[in-house]
Amino acid sequence: MTRTHPTAYDAWLVALVVAALVVPWILILVDDDVRPVPTSMWLLLGGTTALVVALLRGFAWPVRYTIDDDVLIVRSGLIRYRIVLGSIVRVEWSHSPVSSPAWSLKRLRVVFRTGRNINSELLISPRDREEFLADLEQACGRSLSGETGPEPTG
């Protein structure tokens, strides 16, 4: 069974990233109407924008989570995390703002064991977390809920 789940997007987070790209252009265009902006500033802004877009494309988009027969594959841009299903210890609700392959703060914390039997974790944000968790539990053949009951609020 291979099942792919898209990431959830928080509108405010997407708006923040878009604003960070667009606002400097608006400011420089407004300033250019008042007084000429040097060519070096246009080149600096263009280069910075291109770099940020390349970084976003390389590390943060697209984001998706694929449950395969024996592995959970988390794709974030060009980066792929592979978590063996048998190594997953538990999955918990999370709202942690820690950097992760997720475009939403409504997240799941996947706790798993690494090669040296040390717990590690990865925060993910599938669009339908309940469906993702059900698919993951079915693929693992056991319950993974680290916290029982509905998602905590606040």
Which amino acid would we find at residue 87?
S
Q: Show the tokens assigned to 72.
A: 């959970």
- Structure tokens given for 17: 């990233």
pTM over 0.85: no
Fold adopted by 1-154? PH-domain like (2.30.29)
Place of tokens 């950097």: 99
Q: pLDDT tens across 37-71, in order?
A: 888 989 999 999 999 999 988 888 899 999 998 99
Tell me, what's the pLDDT at 148?
43
Give the residue extent of every domain in the chain. Answer: 1-154
> What is the tens place of the pLDDT at every residue in 82-96?
999 999 999 999 988
The residues pairing with 113 across neighbouring beta strands, listed in sequence order, are 119
Averaged pLDDT score across all residues of the chain:
89
Separation of alpha carbons 147 and 149, rounded Å: 7
Q: Give the span between the Cα atoms of 74 and 102, in whole angstroms.
A: 10
pLDDT in tens, 112-151: 998 787 889 999 999 999 999 999 999 998 988 865 445 5
Is 152 a residue whose pLDDT tops 80?
no
